[in-house]
């Protein structure tokens, strides 16, 4: 009974509603344009959203801890750019090297965030907005601000970016599922394991519930922060390498500024910015909705310039509904602070 009860709680109303929204939307798009229903579209969406899901898992952990991070794209760029830069300069052609360098750097920058959040005791949003610019500035000023095109990209990265897990023959031609699903699935599994199976993960959730109670329970908040911000740094770094491989070029000014889409995905997926509440499935569905929107506007006959409009509408609507519900519940309990 008890086990079943835990399981039951894992899927709640938010995820159910989101899944319905995704389904209904797909049906609608398919009705307008049957071409939407193809393996190609599916594989395309998986490919484009895989990077977002990887770093979204890190964001989930940070938001569960009651914090927020807007510097992760800066970190992703920093790690992957430096990795690629070194590979090109030193003529190293190894995927392991790329990931090792990137993850090393990403984790370090994440730890910097953790220390600042812990010491300054000010809103993490403003702190990480500062480090977002700081990291990007350090990279472009002190390392390099050149663009590396497809011609000079290390061949392992190019191959990794276009590699497929398996291919299907369809009427449109041969379709392959990107290998990026491997790091994506790994990050999901790892995050699930951390959040639901490790004491550190429960500590992170506990801290998001109530920092003071977590401290009294004997958790070391600094260590937990180092872990969460380090974790998102590492995942961002992984995502950066996957991203430059998929794009098959390294730009000094891409990625940064795209944090918003991931945060939007998490919020739509029901993760609360006040900490302690959020589910993996929610984040995946939230991100899925955003990328679904992005890649299906064409099927509806709209140009991609409508992207932000629809994502914004969805985000605002979800924020409005959840905060109104929360407010009503609070008022009933005579709470006037949200």
Which residue from 38, 118, 177, 202 is in contact with other proteins, where contact means CB under 8 A? 202
Say whether residue 293 binds other proteins (CB under 8 A).
Answer: no
Residue 164 backbone zone (phi > 0: left; psi -120 to 50: alpha; other: beta): beta
Round to whole Å and give the CA distance between 107 and 87: 19
Residue ranges in 121-153 assigned as alpha helix (H): 124-138
Pick 183 or 270: Cβ nearer other proteins: 270
Question: Least distance in Å: CB of 166 to other proteins?
Answer: 34
Question: Least distance in Å: CB of 115 to other proteins?
Answer: 11
Pick 51 or 132: Cβ nearer other proteins: 132
Which residue from 136, 225, 254, 279 is in contact with other proteins, where contact means CB under 8 A? 136
Say whether residue 155 binds other proteins (CB under 8 A).
Answer: no
Say how many Å lie between the first and final Cα of the chain, rounded. Answer: 35
Round to whole Å and give the CA distance between 79 and 74: 9
Question: Least distance in Å: CB of 240 to other proteins?
Answer: 18
Q: Taking CB under 8 A as the rule, which mask of x and - marks residues 272-291 in contact with other proteins? A: -xx-xx--------------
Could you identify the residue written with the tokens 């991100």? Answer: 287
Which residues in 56-85 contact other proteins (CB under 8 A)?
A: 68
CB within 8 A of 337, min separation 6: which ones?
A: 330
Pick 40 or 273: Cβ nearer other proteins: 273
Say whether residue 149 binds other proteins (CB under 8 A).
Answer: no
Q: How many CB atoms lie within 10 A of CB 98?
A: 28
Q: Which SS3 state, helix, strand or coil, does residue 210 take?
A: coil
Which residue from 54, 84, 156, 206 is in contact with other proteins, where contact means CB under 8 A? 206
Say whether residue 223 binds other proteins (CB under 8 A).
Answer: no
- Which residue(s) pair with 178 in the sheet? 164
């Amino acid at each position: 009974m008890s086990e079943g009860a835990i399981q039951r709680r894992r899927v709640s109303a938010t995820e159910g509603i989101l899944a319905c929204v995704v389904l209904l939307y797909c049906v609608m798009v398919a009705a307008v344009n049957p071409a939407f229903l193809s393996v190609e579209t599916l594989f395309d969406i998986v490919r484009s959203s895989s990077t977002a899901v990887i770093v979204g898992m890190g964001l989930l952990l940070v938001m569960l801890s009651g914090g927020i991070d807007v510097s992760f794209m800066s970190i992703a760029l920093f790690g992957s750019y430096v990795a690629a830069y070194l590979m090109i300069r030193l003529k190293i052609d190894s995927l392991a090297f790329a990931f090792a360098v990137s993850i090393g750097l990403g984790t370090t920058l994440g730890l910097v965030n953790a220390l600042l959040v812990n010491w300054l005791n000010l809103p993490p949003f403003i702190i990480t907005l500062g480090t977002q610019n700081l990291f990007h500035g350090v990279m472009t000023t002190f390392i390099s601000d050149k663009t590396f095109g497809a011609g000079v990209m290390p061949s392992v990265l190019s191959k990794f970016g276009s590699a497929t897990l398996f291919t299907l023959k369809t009427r449109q031609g041969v379709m392959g599922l990107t290998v990026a699903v491997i790091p994506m699935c790994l990050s999901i599994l790892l995050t699930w394991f951390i959040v639901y199976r490790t004491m550190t993960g429960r500590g992170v959730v506990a801290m998001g519930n109530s920092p003071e109670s977590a401290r009294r329970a004997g958790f070391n908040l600094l260590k937990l922060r180092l872990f969460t911000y380090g974790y998102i740094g590492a995942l961002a770094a992984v995502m950066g390498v996957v991203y430059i491989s998929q794009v098959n070029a390294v730009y000094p000014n891409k990625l940064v500024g795209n944090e918003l889409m991931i945060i939007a995905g998490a919020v739509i997926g029901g993760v609360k910015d006040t900490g302690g509440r959020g589910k993996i499935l929610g984040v995946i569905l939230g991100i899925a909705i955003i990328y679904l929107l992005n890649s299906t506007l064409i099927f509806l006959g709209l140009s991609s310039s409508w992207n932000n409009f629809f994502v914004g509408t969805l985000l605002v609507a979800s924020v409005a509904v959840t905060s109104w519900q929360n407010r009503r519940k609070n008022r009933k309990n005579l709470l006037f602070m949200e």
